[in-house]
Amino acid sequence: SSRRWGGGPGDARHHAGGELDWARIRTRFPPEPNGYLHIGHAKSISVNFGLARDYQGACHLRLDDTNPDREDLEYVESIKDAVQWLGYDWEAGGARHLYQASDYFDFMYRAAEYLIEAGLAYVDEQSAEQLRTHRGDFTRPGLDSPFRNRSAAENLHRFREMRDGKLPEGAAILRARIDMASPNINLRDPALYRIKYAHHHNTGNKWCIYPMYTFAHPIEDALENITHSIATLEFEDQRPFYDWLLSHLARGGLINSPPPRQYEFARLNLTYVVTSKRKLKQLVDEGHVDGWDDPRMPTIVGLRRRGCTPGALQLFAERIGVSKADSWIDYSVLEGALRDDLEPTATRAMAVLDPVRLVISNWDDVMGAGHLESCSAWLHPRAPERGERKFFFGRDLWVERADYSDSPSPGFFRLAPGNIVRLKSGYVVRCTGAVRTGAGELAEIHAEVLPETKSGTPGAAVKVKGTITWVSAADGVQAEVRLYERLFTVPQPGGGHDSLDELHPASARRVRAYVEPSLGQAAPEQHFQFERLGYFVADRVDHAPGHGKLVFNRITSLKETFTG
């Protein structure tokens, strides 16, 4: 019944203490379930749910499923997951604010009949071609349709025939009767309903006419008593129609007064990625990426798999703020938020991504043949209460290939013949040279340990110019490390051309690495700072320590290194 909606699910005035409640903010996040959410949606979620949280209001999660073509239950589940993972929920004050727009189809239909009866809507049977040419453009007004002055009774009859499946697709639409000469093209008798013989996942085959987004959306907001309907800037020109529609429905007593109001803010554009569900879907469908949750994707599931945290996205949203001007946010802003969020919490560990063997040639002589020396380091340097990690130092170690040079440049203080270097949390060694293969490839580096220099002992005070990371061959564990570059090679993909040409050809790389033994216990989705290398996460899908498979994704480097 209309009471149901008149005093609808979100009607705060029907609660006890109604006046106070009515003053409260009520927002909504209304995704269409036709794809996975992306970082632009994360911003919208943070704005809408954040406002509700800050002002003790409520934010509705509304699945805007008025278009039967493209929607899928898989997407519905992914949307709910994304909102929850970001730290928000749709329960407020004991109420569950989860809605689907298709539940309002009956009401929308009645609203359409009301407009027809009030002379504010008509059934137009012009061809698609005629509709297009008669709409005019920015330079000239539109032309009235020959069907514009039909009687209300005739329109009602014809509209019911549309509903009853008497007309084929494309034969007629219902239009608002506003002003074909309006400078705002959105007010030139916009379409309200079209015929579509499509099965809907919620309403089945009940309907063969479906409301247009511009008609449905204001009604959804009104029925849920939304106070602030926050939209992106493209919808600014739709606001006059939003207000036109709701003021007429309020006057007719179909919805509450005052009706909701729409506010616009700039959409988020992030450099080096695309933020459009359609384009992201194309990347998935054509196999340019490994699914919606590919760690290079700016989808929320992709960001999550990459190791992005809800805290970092929150920080990111706060830093970019809400503005009225469209702009591109540089990807490095997201990386900065990630570093700042992860630095205080991420567990430290050592890993060697491009390993080459370092042999301590005097080890057996000075320490004893086969001796392994136990070393330790804090899990986090500023949180000793979190405890320490333990690992061995021995004759055979792994170090990064790039940490050795035969002929070092002046600033190079790492391994080079004659250099003295600290192996972090281990010993100081003096490099004596290296062995190369016939092809000239570095096969093995040689060094001698300075036995009194173990970290944490008085002798550790010896001055060295360089410190490098390492893993011992005795207890280092093999791991796969996945390194990611930006998905696109240009900051603003698709600027006037096909963005697929601008895909980074090698944005994902897998390397065999050695990691310290503590990482053998890493849980999926656990975050780490690999010392000197950056932030990494244990892959939430493929990392399976129980099966001896360690997989880490690089989230971001320690410092900004990208130069564009």
Quick one: which segment of 25-33, 111-119, 214-222, 295-303 binds Mg ion (CB under 5 A)?
25-33
Count Cβ atoms below 10 Å from residue 548 Cβ, excluding itself: 9
> Which residues does the annotation mark as catalytic?
32, 267, 277
**In the bound complex, what is the minimum distance in angstroms from residue 59's beta carbon to ligand ATP?**
12
Q: Which residues are bridge partners to 349 per DSSP?
A: 530
CB of 138 to ligand ATP, least distance (A): 23
Instruction: Candidates 25-33, 184-192, 331-339, 482-490: pick the segment binding ligand ATP (CB under 6 A).
Output: 25-33
* Pick 392 or 488: Cβ nearer ligand ATP: 488
* CB atoms inside a 10 Å sphere around CB 332: 15
3-state helix, strand, coil in the chain (%, to 5): 30, 25, 45
Q: Which residue, 40 or 142, has its beta carbon nearer to Mg ion? A: 40
Q: Does 100 bind ligand ATP (CB under 6 A)?
A: no
Q: What three-state secondary structure class fits 415?
A: strand
The helix or strand, by DSSP H or E, that contains position 327, with its residue range, turns out to be strand 327-329
Nearer to ligand ATP, 325 or 369 (CB): 325
Q: Does 317 bind ligand ATP (CB under 6 A)?
A: no
Please, what is the minimum distance in Å from the beta carbon of residue 266 to ligand ATP? 8
| Cβ within 8 Å of residue 259, ≥6 positions away | 218, 221, 222, 243, 246, 247, 249, 250
Residue 40 contact among Mg ion, ligand ATP, none, beta carbon within 5 to 8 Å by kind: ligand ATP
453 touching ligand ATP, by CB under 6 A: no
Q: What binding mask, one character per residue, do residues 261-300 give for ligand ATP by CB under 6 A, x or -?
A: ------xx------xxx-----------------------
CA 81 from centre of chain: 12
Residue 41 binds to ligand ATP (criterion: CB under 6 A): yes
* Cα angle for residues 301, 303, 308 (degrees, 5° grid): 125
What is the DSSP secondary-structure string of 67-127? -SSS--HHHHHHHHHHHHHTT--SEETTEE-EEEGGGGHHHHHHHHHHHHHTTSEEEE---
User: Is residue 348 near ligand ATP by the rule CB under 6 A?
Assistant: no
Measured from the CB atom, the residue of 76 and 333 that comes closer to Mg ion is: 76
Contacts for 362 with CB less than 8 Å, ≥ 6 apart: 448, 449
CA distance 392 to 352: 15
Tell me the number of residues near ligand ATP by CB under 6 A.
Answer: 14
Judged by beta carbon, residue 229 or residue 455, the one nearer ligand ATP is: 229
**CA–CA separation, 113 vs 111, rounded Å?**
5
Q: Does 218 bind ligand ATP (CB under 6 A)?
A: no
Query: Residues for the chain: how many in total?
Result: 564
44 is in the binding site of which of ligand ATP, Mg ion, none (Cβ under 5 to 8 A by kind)? ligand ATP
Which residues are near ligand ATP by CB under 6 A? Answer: 30-32, 40-41, 43-44, 231-232, 267-268, 275-277
Which residues are near Mg ion by CB under 5 A? Answer: 32
